[in-house]
Amino acid sequence: MNLFRSEEHIKRWLGGREPGATIGVAKLCELAHAWWSDRLAADWQPRRREHNQAILDQLELAGDFWRLPEAKA
């Protein structure tokens, strides 16, 4: 993860390469809270892929980068 101060800063850093997935710091904070806020709970259990994907979908993080892989059979 890299943090940048502006879209122009991203463009300079990329040097003509195509950018990957980018989100603003506010969206990053939303994601961090949704993903990690319950991890210290005494009854915490790992989540299923569907639950994790629902978090990404609810935050409107769309596109191939944000699609979690299907579980292997």
Q: Is 32 contained in some domain?
A: yes
Query: pTM, whole model, 2 decimals?
Result: 0.81
Q: Is 18 contained in some domain?
A: no
Q: Is 15 contained in some domain?
A: no
Domain hosting 49: range is 24-73
Element (H, E) at 14: helix 7-14
Domain count, the chain: 1
Write down the pLDDT at residue 34.
97
Q: What is the mean pLDDT of residues 12-19?
A: 93
Q: Is 43 contained in some domain?
A: yes
Q: What is the mean pLDDT of residues 29-34?
A: 97
Q: Is 7 contained in some domain?
A: no
